[in-house]
Amino acid sequence: MLNRLGDYFDFIHRARSRIINGLVYPAFLLHAAIIIPAVPLLFTKGFGAFLAATLPALAILYGLAAAVVFLARKSGPASAFSARFNRVVLAIPVVGSLARKLALLRFLQAFVCLYTAGIEVREAVELAARTMGNAAMEEEMLHSVVLLRNSATISEAFAENPFLPPVLRDMIRVGAVSGKMDETLTSVIGYLQEDVDNTTAKLVSLLPVIVYLLVAVYIGYVIISFYLGYLNQVMTEL
């Protein structure tokens, strides 16, 4: 069990490091796109004009980042607001897929550890649901716990869960019927970890492309604004 937990935490650490490293270059590009076009103002109009040109864009950038962090941490993990926010995140392409897979990975890892330790299935599902870190998915899992309390089998309890892929529901049913739940889910965990690796790689490769597009739009806006201002000045002089 300890080896399994060690492997899991090592995997999570590597996934987080990969995402953080993938954010460094896009963040640098965003800052460069804001600061570099305003550098000539330092020599022509002074430091005040440079700050006036860069601070609003930087304030928007940092404001958006702070808003995302605030919304992600607002209230408790099982609050209604948090559940709604998590559902929005889960609907975002690639990002939502990665968030869903990581939450399922946490659940399965916790459930297998509890189940192999002799914890009763209903209690193991309830405790594992608390580790998912996603209020929307936790709500659905706790609904499955209610069904288990009403004498439903684990496969029946998970049958209507929208966040569980059909393959995972089938594997849970096979594990329950064969009596090898821990072995079956351990193989699923391995597959899911590989899937998370692939999704993380896709996300890291998409981020620079998205930032390139944002930078291109911003530079286009700066250029258009410059020429509009220049034309207005010419027209005024005429």
Is-contact 105 193, C-beta < 8 A? yes
The tens digit of pLDDT for each residue in 156-207 reads 888 888 888 888 888 888 888 888 888 888 888 888 888 888 888 888 888 8
Q: Which residue has the tokens 């911003």?
A: 218
The tens digit of pLDDT for each residue in 124-140 reads 989 999 888 888 888 88
How confident is residue 77, by pLDDT bands cut at 50, 70 and 90? low
Is-contact 181 117, C-beta < 8 A? no
The tens digit of pLDDT for each residue in 34-55 reads 888 888 888 888 888 888 888 8
Is-contact 157 124, C-beta < 8 A? no
Q: Which of 119, 123, 126 lies closest to 78, judged by CA?
A: 126
Out of 24-28, 129-133, 220-224, give the one with best mean pLDDT.
129-133
Cα separation, 203 vs 192, whole angstroms: 16
Residue 78 has pLDDT above 60, yes or no: no
Give me the long-range contacts of 154-157 (CB less than 8 A, separation at least 24): 154/121, 154/125, 157/125
Cα separation, 31 vs 44, whole angstroms: 21
**pTM more than 0.85:** no
Q: Which of 164, 151, 101 lies closest to 121, judged by CA?
A: 151
What pLDDT score does 2 carry? 62
The residue ranking higher by pLDDT, 13 or 149, is 149
Cα separation, 49 vs 39, whole angstroms: 10
What pLDDT score does 198 carry? 85
HEC readout, the chain? CHHHHHHHHHHHHHHHHHHHHHHHHHHHHHHHHHHHHHHHHHHHCCHHHHHHHHHHHHHHHHHHHHHHHHHHHCCCCCCHHHHHHHHHHHCCCCHHHHHHHHHHHHHHHHHHHHHHCCCCHHHHHHHHHCCCCCHHHHHHHHHHHHHHHCCCCHHHHCCCCCCCCHHHHHHHHHHHHHCCHHHHHHHHHHHHHHHHHHHHHHHHHHHHHHHHHHHHHHHHHHHHHHHHHHHHHHHHHC
Cα separation, 165 vs 12, whole angstroms: 21
